[in-house]
Copies of this chain bind each other. A is one copy, B any other.
Amino acid sequence: MRASDKAYAELRRDIVEWKLPPGTVLGEVEQAERLGVSRTPLREALARLSADGLAVQQRGRGAVVSDVSLDHLDNLFELRRALEVESSRLAARTEHREGFAKLAQRFTEAADVLGRGGPAVALEPYYRLAGELDEAIDEAVDNPYIEQALRGLRTHLARVRRLAQDAPDRLRASAFEHASIAGAIAAGDPELAAAATLLHLSHSLDHIKTHAGS
């Protein structure tokens, strides 16, 4: 693996996981030493992070981890709506929809578990299931341009997610909404899939705004 890739992957992970909180200055020499690479590949990593929007280049002071706040939430969800609603619509139009019925069922089962379970319910499997649905939609849409736009979007969403932790009730509702999306795609109904996605995004945004910082 190239040193620049290593530096990029590590910095990106640290930023997304808030180990490098917004506002942190990423000095070239400092980070180069920390990651054990030279300044040249580290500069390339910083350039890629800037392109991703995870850092902003400040002249004279180097790169700083970009800010993330609730002010960006509406903007982020506007883009999300544009991309994900259309993605669901396109996914429902393709002929590679075999896995979606199975995914819908798994979401329904997950909702049951989340509803039944006590406080000790593991959340990780649910997030992975949601990720699987994203991947399945990407594969069905089969559009590298949309995929790239979604990748960038999801990176930012992962950072924002820290601002509002998910309550079990919300996760259960979310699981049902995801089941609806997967079901609509499996049924090959583009407008139903679009509507289900729109609904999910609306509820998701409402939840974050209501429970932010609490």
Minimum distance in angstroms from A150 CB to a CB of chain B? 10
Check if A205 is an interface residue, CB within 8 A of chain B: no
**Interface on A for B, CB 8 Å cutoff?**
40, 43-44, 47-48, 51, 53, 72, 75-76, 78-79, 81-83, 85-87, 90, 141, 143-146, 148-149, 152-153, 156
Closest to A144 in B: B75
The distance in angstroms between the C-alpha atoms of A163 and B146, with both chains bound, is 22
Closest to A72 in B: B145
State whether A78 touches B82 (Cβ < 8 A). no
Minimum distance in angstroms from A93 CB to a CB of chain B? 10
The distance in angstroms between the C-alpha atoms of A72 and B152, with both chains bound, is 20
State whether A149 touches B86 (Cβ < 8 A). no
Partner of A48, one of B43, B47, B78, B149: B47
State whether B90 touches A146 (Cβ < 8 A). no
Partner of A90, one of B47, B78, B148: B78
Across-interface contacts of A44 in B (CB, < 8 A)? 43-44, 47
Query: How many copies of this kind of chain does the complex include?
Result: 2
Closest to A153 in B: B145
Minimum distance in angstroms from A83 CB to a CB of chain B? 6
State whether B82 touches A146 (Cβ < 8 A). yes
19 residue pairs bridging A and B, Cβ less than 8 Å apart: A43-B44, A47-B48, A48-B51, A51-B51, A75-B144, A75-B145, A78-B143, A78-B146, A79-B145, A81-B86, A82-B82, A82-B83, A82-B86, A82-B87, A82-B146, A145-B156, A148-B152, A149-B149, A149-B152
State whether A145 touches B76 (Cβ < 8 A). yes
* Leading 6 A-B pairs by shortest Cβ distance: A82-B86, A51-B51, A79-B145, A75-B143, A79-B146, A82-B82
Minimum distance in angstroms from A103 CB to a CB of chain B? 22
The distance in angstroms between the C-alpha atoms of A185 and B7, with both chains bound, is 45
The distance in angstroms between the C-alpha atoms of A135 and B114, with both chains bound, is 46
**Do A53 and B83 form a contact, CB below 8 Å, given A47-B44, A78-B90, A143-B78?**
no
The distance in angstroms between the C-alpha atoms of A51 and B146, with both chains bound, is 14
